[in-house]
A = this chain, B = another copy of it.
Amino acid sequence: MSNYTKISREEGARVELHDKLNLTGAEISINRMKAGASVPFIHAHKENEEIYFVISGKGKAVVDGEEIRLEEGDWLRIAPPAHRQFFAAEDSDFNYICIQVRANSLKGYTMDDAIAIE
């Protein structure tokens, strides 16, 4: 397998990147919701932490019954057992990525994991 994989912008209401990017430490989805739309179910996770990043637009998350407003540039981490559901705003599309990683899987990072070449 190559040491890198690149993909360009992909269209669609939901694009899952794990297989397209040959990911081994995360799954990432790109989600594009129209104004007024919502994910039609509440879910939690067994082992995975989720990290959401709002690319553009506005919406909200409901986490364990608490409403959290979200807009462009916002980040939201959700622990595995939390009950979560996502909604676009009534008057705005809502475009976000969701990064799924195994909770507590990271060891060293940045300077503790990097090797300086030159």
Contacts and interface: CB of A to CB of B under 8 A. Distances in A.
Contacts of A22: 77
Contacts of A27: 106, 109-110
Interface in A8-34: 8-10, 16-18, 21-29
Given A26-B26, A110-B16, A115 B44 contact: yes
24 contacts: A1-B79, A2-B79, A3-B63, A3-B78, A4-B61, A4-B77, A4-B82, A6-B68, A6-B77, A8-B71, A8-B73, A16-B110, A22-B77, A23-B106, A24-B104, A25-B26, A25-B105, A26-B49, A27-B109, A46-B113, A48-B108, A99-B99, A100-B113, A105-B105
A68 B4 contact: yes
B102 A7 contact: no
A30 to B, nearest CB: 9
A7 B117 contact: no
